[in-house]
């Protein structure tokens, strides 16, 4: 009985043909009494060179093919050990289960006898272990051309690779096919590369559950590279780790060709406590203190405690500081991305902030507001979010929120401006409630610094209380890796609109992420509608610094009805239909996040080295603009 097996170990395919019956070789029996030179046990007393006087091939009808691939020829003088290369060439034909070479002394030289054992004729194909992820008929198709033919190992290997490629094309890169031949029947065993377990290494502070819950693949399922890459992307986007990698290893039980998935992480510092100072175009120097932990107690929750105030630096030195005209910002935020099974998130915020608006540059004809308007907001926000379409890892996500806030208005002399409020209370305070909903789509490979993918969101927020109106906002960004790891093109579009009779202070302002770079962030750009498009070319310079070339174009608009009902006079900042800003910037990766420094030019006609801040503007912030 004959039995042939093809086995696969790791990424190397080894063809092993085992026989329980020796090849019948009459010539060999007759030669056993002669002085044979065996290649595998060469006699050291044999002369170093032998002369080939005759070549015989026994055991196959393909004698000419065997002689054609051999380097040895009649009349050659060579060292016997060189014949091993010829043996490998003969095996390489693929038709033989075994090849044995013998040198038999004859008159004036040696006869080279090549004994071969042919593989059997393939009569049948059958599944010993059928596949579950790919059609068995499709996997068996590459082998059908070998039916009723003498088996050829090269053809079998090509058919095996073709079958495995069907699995690999769908991401099942650890799947492999095992072949077993017996009496002309070829049995196929499909090992689909199952996950035995997940092991986490490198954790110091974090609970391993915050990693395991982000992994869609589960033990017992077939390993899929496409799904695993999406899992690793989610882990990197958590912001808890400096690095995340995966290392498949053989299963501990070595059962049914299963694999252990070792996820290796390097935790980053997620807590930030201390004093902070910053600079923006509206307030100048700001100072404060904060406690922020994006991985609170190692459970993946977010906690933020922040207080920050604008500093009247000049007044501090002259003894005439007036902090009542400066910004202050106090906030407490908490969120849990997995409050409930199914990736249901929860967030809550308490806030109180005072913001100087307009600085008088956008208003004419409003008495007492030549220097600007102070707005104080105090309130609470609650939100719940969940992936859509029944998939906890869907790129689509919905969110609902509820908020309540009180808004107070006064001028820089601390006089309440009740005529600007909707309620007309003496305290010039308005109270509002809102219930909002949003829809988002996110396929970015890295949320903080994406190089490919799409992000979009659309939100609507009805507001009621002392007034009623609707706030609608949306944005869409896409990232294209023109030269991987060297150049990324980023395109962004954002806009929003207030529908109804929103109050004076409820406007969109050209600050923060809504800045048109090159223009001041002092409130001079505002409106109840806005639209901004941006294009950036992002490229590395040297770690951790990268560069950006950008163009922004857009504007803030106010329709005539809103302008007149809110008492606005001539709008000095919104004369042109669209505004542009062109410039360059730097991005610096720091433990606190990606620091952004941009310089944009808004007026090339007046640009020069002596007028950099007259024709353009510097912008400082954290994170990419989009």
Q: Tokens at residue 565, please? A: 């009902």
Q: What is the pLDDT of residue 324?
A: 58
Q: How large is the average pLDDT for residues 267-289?
A: 75
Q: What is the pLDDT of residue 112?
A: 94
Q: How large is the average pLDDT for residues 20-34?
A: 34
Tens digit of each residue's pLDDT (9 = 90 or more) over 457-506: 999 999 999 999 999 999 999 999 999 999 999 999 999 999 988 888 88
Q: What is the pLDDT of residue 54?
A: 92
Structural domain includes residue 413: yes
Token match 């912008």: residue? 619
Where is mean pLDDT largest: 95-99, 283-287, 508-512, 585-589?
585-589
Task: Report which of residues 539 and 16 the model is more confident about.
Answer: 539
Q: How large is the average pLDDT for residues 557-583?
A: 65
Q: How large is the average pLDDT for residues 270-288?
A: 72
pLDDT of 156 above 80: yes
Strand-pairing partners, residue 470, are 462, 499
Largest CA distance in the chain: 128
Strand-pairing partners, residue 550, are 536, 583
| 102: CATH | 3.10.20.310
Structural domain includes residue 603: yes
Q: How large is the average pLDDT for residues 320-344?
A: 82
Distance CA 410, CA 368 (A): 10
- Does 476 share its domain with 584? yes
Distance CA 181, CA 119 (A): 10
Token match 């600079």: residue? 279
Q: What is the pLDDT of residue 603?
A: 86
- Does 114 share its domain with 220? no
Element (H, E) at 162: helix 153-168
Residue 86: give the domain boundaries: 34-118
- Which of 118, 137, 161 terminates a domain? The answer is 118
Token match 């496409």: residue? 226
Mean pLDDT check: name the lowest of 104-108, 264-268, 560-564. 560-564
Q: How large is the average pLDDT for residues 596-618?
A: 84
Q: How large is the average pLDDT for residues 546-574?
A: 71
- Closest by CA position to 466, among listed 432, 504, 418: 432
Structural domain includes residue 386: yes
- Does 345 share its domain with 242? no
Binned at pLDDT 50, 70 and 90, residue 605 comes out as confident
- Does 108 share its domain with 215? no
Structural domain includes residue 165: no
Find the angle CA(566)-CA(567)-CA(572) to the nearest 5 degrees.
Answer: 105
Q: What is the pLDDT of residue 373?
A: 80
Q: What is the DSSP string of 106-143?
A: ETTEEEEEEEEEEPPBP-EEEEEE--SSS-HHHHHHHH
Structural domain includes residue 124: no
Q: Tokens at residue 491, please? A: 């395109």
Q: How large is the average pLDDT for residues 97-115?
A: 92
Task: Report which of residues 509 and 574 the model is more confident about.
Answer: 509
Q: What is the pLDDT of residue 342?
A: 87
Structural domain includes residue 9: no
Q: How large is the average pLDDT for residues 167-183?
A: 92
Strand-pairing partners, residue 582, are 551, 601
- Does 504 share its domain with 613? yes
Binned at pLDDT 50, 70 and 90, residue 522 comes out as confident
Distance CA 311, CA 323 (A): 7
- Which of 242, 267, 292 terminates a domain? The answer is 267
- Does 427 share its domain with 535? yes
What does pLDDT average to over the chain?
A: 84
Distance CA 21, CA 320 (A): 106
Distance CA 260, CA 229 (A): 16
Tens digit of each residue's pLDDT (9 = 90 or more) over 119-147: 899 999 999 988 999 999 999 999 999 99
Q: Number of folded domains in the chain?
A: 3
Task: Report which of residues 253 and 72 the model is more confident about.
Answer: 72
Find the angle CA(41)-CA(43)-CA(47) to the nearest 5 degrees.
Answer: 135
Q: What is the DSSP string of 261-319?
A: EEEEEEE---EEEEEEEEEETTTEEEEEEEEEEEEETTTTEEEEEEEEEE--HHHHHHT
CA-derived radius of gyration, the chain = 38
Structural domain includes residue 144: no
pTM (two decimals):
0.74
Q: What is the pLDDT of residue 5?
A: 38
Q: Tell me how far the alpha carbon of residue 333 is from its chain's centroid.
A: 27
- Does 94 share its domain with 222? no
Distance CA 465, CA 453 (A): 40
Answer for the pair 50, 108: CB distance below 8 angstroms, yes or no. Answer: no
**Number of continuous H segments (helices) and E segments (strands) in the chain:** 10, 31
Task: Report which of residues 48 and 160 the model is more confident about.
Answer: 160
Q: How is residue 68 annotated by DSSP?
A: H
Answer for the pair 77, 86: CB distance below 8 angstroms, yes or no. Answer: no
Task: Report which of residues 29 and 105 the model is more confident about.
Answer: 105
Tens digit of each residue's pLDDT (9 = 90 or more) over 284-315: 677 889 899 999 999 999 999 999 887 665 55
Find the angle CA(33)-CA(101)-CA(65) to the nearest 5 degrees.
Answer: 135
Tens digit of each residue's pLDDT (9 = 90 or more) over 220-261: 999 999 999 999 999 999 989 989 999 999 988 766 689 999
pLDDT of 18 above 80: no
Answer for the pair 356, 372: CB distance below 8 angstroms, yes or no. Answer: yes
- Does 370 share its domain with 456? yes
pLDDT of 560 above 70: no
Structural domain includes residue 180: no
| 547: CATH | 2.40.160.50
Task: Report which of residues 255 and 619 the model is more confident about.
Answer: 619
Task: Enumerate residues 6+ apart whose C-beta is below 8 A from 2.
Answer: 19, 20, 21, 97, 120, 181, 182, 183
Q: What is the pLDDT of residue 52?
A: 92
Q: Is 611 exposed, middle or buried (0-12, 13-18, 19+ CB in 10 A)?
A: exposed
Distance CA 197, CA 381 (A): 40
Q: What is the pLDDT of residue 39?
A: 42
Where is mean pLDDT largest: 150-159, 284-293, 321-330, 393-402?
393-402
Distance CA 76, CA 51 (A): 6
- Which of 101, 118, 135 terminates a domain? The answer is 118
- Closest by CA position to 459, among listed 399, 412, 510, 540: 399
Tens digit of each residue's pLDDT (9 = 90 or more) over 417-426: 888 889 999 9
- Does 101 share its domain with 201? no
């Amino acid at each position: 009985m004959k039995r042939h097996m093809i086995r696969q170990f790791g990424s190397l395919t080894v063809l092993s043909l085992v026989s329980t019956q020796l090849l019948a070789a009459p010539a060999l029996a007759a030669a056993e009494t002669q002085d044979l030179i065996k290649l595998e046990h060469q006699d050291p007393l044999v002369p170093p060179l032998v002369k080939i006087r005759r070549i015989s091939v026994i055991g196959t009808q393909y004698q000419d093919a065997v002689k054609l691939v051999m380097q040895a020829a009649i009349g050659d003088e060579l060292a016997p050990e060189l014949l091993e290369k010829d043996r490998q060439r003969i095996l390489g034909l693929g038709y033989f289960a075994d090849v044995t070479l013998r040198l038999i002394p004859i008159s004036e030289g040696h006869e080279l006898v090549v004994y071969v054992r042919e593989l059997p004729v393939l009569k049948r194909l059958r599944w010993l272990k059928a596949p579950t992820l790919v059609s068995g008929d499709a996997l068996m198709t590459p082998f059908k051309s070998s039916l009723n033919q003498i088996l050829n190992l090269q053809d079998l290997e090509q058919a095996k690779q073709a079958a495995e490629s069907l699995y690999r094309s769908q991401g099942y890169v650890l799947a492999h096919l095992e072949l077993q031949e017996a009496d002309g029947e070829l049995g196929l065993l499909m090992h689909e590369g199952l996950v035995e377990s997940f092991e986490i290494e490198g954790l110091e502070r974090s609970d391993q559950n915050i990693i395991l819950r982000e992994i869609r693949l589960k033990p017992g399922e077939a390993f899929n590279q496409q799904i695993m890459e999406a899992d690793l992307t989610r882990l990197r986007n958590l912001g808890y780790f400096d690095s995340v990698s995966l290392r498949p290893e053989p299963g501990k039980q070595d059962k049914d060709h299963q694999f252990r998935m070792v996820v290796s992480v390097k935790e980053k510092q997620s807590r930030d406590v201390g004093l902070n100072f910053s600079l923006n175009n509206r307030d100048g120097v700001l100072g404060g203190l904060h406690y922020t932990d994006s991985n609170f107690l190692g459970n993946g929750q977010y906690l933020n405690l922040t207080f920050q105030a604008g500093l009247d630096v000049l007044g501090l030195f002259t003894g005439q500081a007036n902090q009542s005209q400066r910004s202050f910002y106090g906030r407490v935020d908490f969120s849990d991305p997995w409050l409930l099974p199914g990736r249901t998130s929860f967030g809550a915020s308490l806030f109180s902030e005072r913001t100087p608006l307009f600085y008088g540059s956008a208003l004419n004809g409003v008495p007492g507001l030549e220097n600007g308007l102070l707005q104080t907001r105090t309130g609470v926000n609650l939100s719940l979010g969940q992936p859509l379409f029944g998939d906890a890892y869907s790129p689509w996500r919905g969110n609902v929120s509820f908020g309540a806030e009180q808004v107070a208005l006064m001028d820089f002399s601390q006089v309440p401006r009740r005529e600007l409020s909707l309620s007309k209370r003496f305290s010039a305070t308005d109270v509002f409630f809102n219930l909002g909903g949003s829809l988002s789509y996110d396929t970015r490979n890295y949320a903080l610094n994406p190089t490919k993918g799409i992000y979009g969101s659309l939100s609507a927020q009805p507001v009621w209380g002392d007034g009623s109106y609707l706030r609608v906002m949306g944005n869409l960004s896409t990232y294209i890796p023109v030269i991987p790891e060297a150049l990324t093109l980023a395109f962004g579009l954002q806009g929003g609109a207030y529908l109804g009779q929103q109050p004076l202070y409820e406007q969109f302002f050209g600050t923060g992420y809504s800045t048109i770079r090159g223009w001041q962030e002092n409130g001079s750009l505002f409106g109840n509608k806005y639209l901004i498009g941006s294009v950036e070319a992002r490229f590395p310079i040297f770690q951790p610094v990268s560069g950006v070339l950008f163009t922004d174009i857009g504007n803030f608009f106010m329709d005539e009805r809103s302008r007149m009902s809110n008492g606005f006079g001539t709008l000095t900042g919104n004369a042109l239909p669209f505004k542009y800003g062109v410039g360059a910037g730097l991005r610096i990766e720091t433990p606190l996040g990606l620091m952004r420094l941009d310089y944009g030019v808004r007026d090339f006609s007046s640009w020069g080295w002596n007028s950099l801040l007259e024709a353009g503007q510097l912008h400082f912030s954290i994170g990419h603009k989009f």
